[in-house]
Structure 1
Amino acid sequence: MKTKTVKIGSKVIGGGNPILIQSMTNTKTEDIAATVAQINKLAAAGCDIIRCAVPTMEAAEALTEIKKQVEIPVVADIHFDYRLAIAAIEHGADKIRINPGNIGSRERVQAVVDAAKERQIPIRVGVNSGSLEKDLVEKYHGVTAEGIVESALDKVKMIEDMGYDNLVISIKSSDVMMCVKAHELIAEKTDHPLHVGITEAGTIISGNIKSAIGLGLILHQGIGDTIRVSLTGDPLEEIKSAKLILKTLGLRKGGIEVVSCPTCGRTRIDLIGLANQVENMVADIPLDIKVAVMGCVVNGPGEAKEADIGIAGGIGEGLIIKHGEVYKKVPESELLESLRYELLHWNEN
């Protein structure tokens, strides 16, 4: 679904541009060195836009120095204090995230909007199901997708009425299917770009499953311009998951895809350890191919046919398989290194 384009620093979202991956730092923003180090690590892993919490004036002021040391756009996340939003804008934030509902009076929201308008900084209007207004909860007899959408569009209209439409909308819920329905409803009612995520998704396992289902259902309908996989864990895990979700849906190319078989009684090698080692090893190799990791030589060559290259373990030895054919046998201890060599010299074949 075609949305308007919005410029966030050096990036452009909406209007059919590629879906960008966001994450959020978990360092104290006031700690410039730690925040810069984390942002640059995330950017190297594939993060396109980063959000930083701005709970204090010191955090807002730190943005000036942080911005000098990072390449990707920085979004300031503000709650409650409108003065922090204005300070973040003045200190170079490429975008601000506010919930107008908790910023206070209309005059205070207007002050933030005026500061953003002066510098043409986009505002992300964020509404979470957990902070839905009481009157909307009563109107819809509980927290519902319809209520979330109405709340978001009310706030968007308030800012538009103040003479500013450089906006991105974010509506999130930890209820996956409610979140999906809300995005389907809002996509029909606005052309502002949408930032999509399942909020408070949970730990690495539950968060990944809920995010994959929710984002998959939403993105597959052509809804969404930026995404975040919210995980209770290292933000680097969010980037890995987001890249894989986009790649699985065919919305992003590049990067090696690793497929591996489940373990069974025939497995004679540490397949789980090997598959994890392969996944980590290929993360920095810029090829758009599929690598198979198979546990035994019985099904290995056949199951690896769909992959460009694969390895299969035996007793004390392993096979390198290319395009479904056994390419060579190597000692088990050399299997990983042999695969890496083949990948690094892939384009020479």
Structure 2
Amino acid sequence: MSYRPYQQILRRKSRQIRVGKVLVGGDAPISVQSMTNTPTEDAKATIEQIRRCELAGADIVRVSVPTPESTAALHEIVREVNVPIVADIHFHYRRAIEAAKAGAACLRINPGNIGSKERVKEVVKAARDHGCSIRIGVNAGSLEKHLLEKYGEPNPEALVESALWHAAHLQDEDFHEFKISVKASDVFLAVAAYQQLAEACDHPLHIGITEAGGRRTGTVKSAIGLGNLLWSGIGDTLRVSLSAEPEEEVHVGWEMLKSLGLRHRGVKIISCPSCARQGFDVIRTVATLEERLAHIETPITLSIIGCVVNGPGEALMTDIGLTGGGAGRHMVYAAGRTDHTIDEAAMVDHLVGLVEKKAAAIEAEEAARKAAEATAQATAQAAE
């Protein structure tokens, strides 16, 4: 986090649970999730999609398991991927039991359609027996009948009451490894429900605006809703729900966290919208750099500004910067200082090389630091 007080976000205090190797809640980083859209029975296609999500930076991936064939495929899927898998359960509680046996790290159940308290009790037993956590996934579109009759429509109070009612069922079974979501497609409803739930309990929260829409519409709706929650410190893990490829959800989720300084991964490009003053084609340059630098995981900031109005100022706050100049030559900045100029024809290749070199240097420093810590620890142990 930044040392500037106006950039500080105080996260809500929550209990910590484990989803496979990923910690959720407490002081753990906010994790980014996505969900596959391939038929889970097609293990090969599902594994390939999960691997694309992994490359994009997904911490957790959810898969739907509506059939016995899909839970059977889960054995192979879990074995072949590197992220914890959440099994998405609707209507058929037996799928949850099968998924737990197959190696799912977490079971997502929608209490509104999973069935009786006895069935939920069986799911809890399977989760405990196989080391799974659970997500109580309340959705405005599938609230229990008695709550709809009580409140007349889905509203924040109904979502929160449903969530806490089902949380109590898990706690009655002495099961506490669970997180909660109260999703809605309406931004106002979702945000209000999460705010109320955050005040009412200390359970870790999975946040999302469900059925948000396509790539552009869904990104905007999610940024408004999730950005509001994250800025106020609410949220321990998130999914951006888009009618787009799953890896795109991961990219958008990461950009949200990076924008708020909550997590850092890859190259963060600060670029101007371009105007008649630009000394080069900013839009095309940024698009090319985003594609060519997608493989970088080390956090690095890069400013791409078309002219000298804001270019030098933005470069002061980035690791590497470029400001448009005249006659096809542009100024390159290093650590905020003017360093050298570059011809436009070689500009993109040059910047890619600088970023890769900077990333390698940071990684080498980190490796050296860890090696020194290991050596010091070994020395201290030997002296005891």
Contact map agreement 2:89 2:107 (CA 8 A) in 1: yes
Match of 1:216 in 2: 227
TM-superposition CA deviations, 1:31-53 (whole Å, max 9, x none): 11111112122112211111001
Mapped partners of 1:200, 1:149: distance in 2: 19
In 2, the alpha carbon distance for the partners of 1:302 and 1:77 equals 48
The aligned residue for residue 294 of structure 2 is 283
Deviation at 1:123? 1.4
Q: 2:345 aligns with which of 324, 333, 341?
A: 333
Q: Is the 8 A contact 1:311 1:335 kept in 2?
A: no
CA shift at 1:348, angstroms? 5.9
Over the residues paired in the alignment, what is the CA RMSD in angstroms? 2.0
Please report the TM-score for the alignment, with normalisation by the length of structure 2. Answer: 0.85
Of 63, 71, 91, which residue of structure 2 is paired with 1:60?
Answer: 71
Tell me the equivalent position of 2:109: 98
Tell me by how many angstroms 1:331 deviates.
Answer: 2.5
Shift of residue 216, structure 1, vs aligned partner = 1.8
2:304 aligned partner: 293
What pairs with 1:27-66 in structure 2 (closer than 5 Å)?
A: 27-66=38-77
Out of 118, 131, 146, which is 1:135 matched to?
146
1:345 to 347, 350, 357: 357
Q: 1:16 aligns with which of 27, 38, 42?
A: 27
The alignment status of 1:121 with 2:132, answered yes or no, reads yes
Which amino acid in the other structure matches residue 104 of structure 2?
A
Query: How far apart are residue 111 of structure 1 and its match?
Result: 2.0
Structure 1, unmatched stretches of 5+, are: none
Matches of 2:244 and 2:332, distance apart in 1: 35
* Maintained 8 Å contact 2:103/2:130: no
**Separation in structure 1 between the aligned mates of residue 136 and residue 361 of structure 2, nearest angstrom:** 49
Query: Which moved further from structure 2: 190-199 or 339-348?
Result: 339-348
Q: Which moved more, 1:122-131 or 1:111-120?
A: 111-120
Does the C-alpha gap of structure 1 residues 326 and 28 become closer, same or farther in structure 2, counting only changes over 3 Å? same
Structure 2 letter corresponding to 1:333: A
Q: Deviations over 1:2-48 (max 9, x none)?
A: 22221211122122211111111111111111111121221122111
The answer to whether 1:186 aligns with 2:197 is yes
C-alpha distance in 2 between matches for 1:264 and 1:301? 17
Deviation at 1:295, TM superposition (A): 2.0
Give 1:343's aligned amino acid: V
* Per-residue deviation, 1:323: 4.3
Deviation at 1:168, TM superposition (A): 1.3
| Residues 98-107 or 322-331, more deviating | 322-331
Map of 2:98 onto structure 1: 87
Q: Deviations over 1:51-95 (max 9, x none)?
A: 001111111011111111111101100111111111111111111
- What percent of counterpart residues are identical? 47
